[in-house]
Chain A
Amino acid sequence: MSRTIIPFGPQHPVLPEPLHLKLVVEDEIVSEVIPNLGYVHRGLEMLSRVRDMHQMIYVVERVCGICSCLHALAYCHALEKLYGLEAPPRARYLRIIWGELHRMHSHLLWLGLYAESFGFESLFLAFWKVRERIMDIMEATAGNRVVISTNIIGGVRRDISPENLRWIMNEMDLVEKEFRQLMSTMLKDYTVESRTRGKGYLSKEDAYALGACGPTLRGSGWAIDSRMLEYDALKDFSFEPVVEHDGDSYARGVVRFKEVLQSIGIVRECISKIPDSELSVPVKGNPPAGEAWSNVEQPRGELLYYVKSDGTKNLPRVRIRTPTFANIPPLLVMLKGCELADVPVITLSIDPCISCTER
């Protein structure tokens, strides 16, 4: 049978960012996939050599807009390990509140795009309407909708007032109510099931062996979530990761649906227990020479930072391992053998973030 190479991306209606896959197809079946990256590669890791460690917070926040807060959090955790610092109690709660708000708005954005990928445009707009409530919270509490710049080494830059905390509680009720309506609409829909059930199957063994992470890994039956490390305020709560066992695009979607509800619960719990304290501890001088590794759970999976210090204000090496970079090898396995028409849905099921991937 003749083989044809069909380019998927970098500009494609379902892709919010430029990912290029070369699809080798035999008839309508994908037999091989070769990824091509580089359209948004900026070399941000290298900037650590010329920007000082505090300026680098702004740089890492711009690795990715959707999870900017969590990039800064992971980076600050690594630096705090080098300094031997711990953020004050209130800062640890505020970090988790903003982090979980980021997870919610990222998942809601993805759910909208996912609905659009199989032609459910009204649902796409409905998800984004709910997401606007989260964006409003972000703007009211941090002054910006996306890149909120609240994390600093040793704590946070801003507080959330008691009035705003009460308002966020009310907003969480509205988000949950509206979200549950959409959840039942989408998960019980015949078309959604027929387009996602059994598509892009990733076995439990492959997910682990190929280094998958986040909802891609948990959708294949692994209870692995960096929040189990109980960083910041998470050590005051009991946390159980959301796990699905079917390993297909539907299961990965269900994981994200349930994680939105889980994040709502975490935000409520943080607000109800948030203690009073300073917002940050002072950071004096340059970090001592050494190396540190930090791990936080981004919406798409585990985000890892390796930081090496030589005792000066510039860090000779900052290494960022983003979740989509880890989820591309599993995607190549998922796409092999699928029908050409299913490629957009399966590709979106890993929630690809190319800005993160290429840095």
Chain B
Amino acid sequence: MIVLENVTEVSLDNVREEVAAAIEQGWRFVTITAVDLNENEFEFIYHFHNPEFEIKNLRLTFPKGTVVPSVSGVLFCALLVENEIKDLFHIDFEGLALDYNGTFYTNVDELEEGERMIAPFATFTTVQKNKD
């Protein structure tokens, strides 16, 4: 099976340190990809490049419902993508530098207490069409 090159597995405990170390080593942050793996798990892939276009990936797998440590404290430019993931996948972050609280794409000024916007990636399912 073809997989991404240069992947390091990280955990919820060390993801911030690993991201900070990548920046320290001169890697340039590209983005975070969130993948809905199955009923129980999500996966984040933190992508980095360097000026020679080598790629480095940090892969974080965690159970659904987990509050993930935000890396926006060590990497300011990650705050937009983390807010996007929060909107689309219904994943909460701890320590977001600027938390839109689930309104990043919805442009509502404020949500009622306890209210959540619908997270498309977290609620969407497909059903195979029955040929009969």
Residues of B36-86 contacting chain A, CB below 8 A:
36, 45, 47, 51, 53, 55, 76-77, 79-81
Bound state CA distance, A84 and B1, in angstroms?
A: 11
- Are B107 and A38 in contact, CB atoms less than 8 angstroms apart? yes
- Asked if residues A211 and B107 are in contact (CB atoms below 8 Å), the reply is no
Considering the complex, which residues of chain A in the window 283-338 have a beta carbon less than 8 Å from any beta carbon of chain B?
288-293, 295, 304, 306, 308, 314, 316-317, 319, 321, 325-326, 328-330
Structural contact, B3 and A210, CB atoms closer than 8 A = no
Interface residue SS majority, chain B: mixed
A162 CA to B77 CA, complexed, in Å: 47
Does A222 reach chain B (CB closer than 8 Å)?
yes
Q: In the complex, what's the smallest C-beta–C-beta distance from B77 to chain A, in angstroms? A: 4
| Interface bin, chain A | 35 or more
Could you tell me if B2 and A290 are in contact, using CB atoms closer than 8 angstroms?
yes
Provide the bound-state CA to CA distance between A223 and B52, in Å: 10
Are B126 and A211 in touch, CB under 8 angstroms? no
| 16 A-B contact pairs sorted by A residue (CB < 8 Å) | A43-B88, A82-B2, A84-B2, A211-B28, A223-B51, A288-B1, A290-B3, A291-B3, A292-B4, A293-B47, A304-B30, A306-B47, A316-B35, A317-B35, A325-B80, A330-B77
When A229-B53, A306-B33, A328-B80 are in contact, do A38 and B106 touch as well, CB less than 8 Å? yes
- Choose from B45, B76, B81 the contact partner of A306 (Cβ within 8 Å): B45
On whether the beta carbons of A211 and B106 are closer than 8 Å, the reply is: no
Chain A interface main SS type: mixed
Nearest 4 CB-CB pairs, A to B? Answer: A290-B2, A38-B105, A329-B77, A321-B31
Contact with A along B1-45 (1 / 0, CB 8 A): 111100000000000000000010000111101111000000001
Residues of A within 8 A of B107 (CB): 20, 36-39
Most buried by A among B23, B76, B88: B76
Near B by CB (< 8 A), chain A positions 264-292 give 288-292
Q: Using a CB-CB cutoff of 8 Å, which residues 70-118 of chain B contact chain A?
A: 76-77, 79-81, 88, 98, 104-107
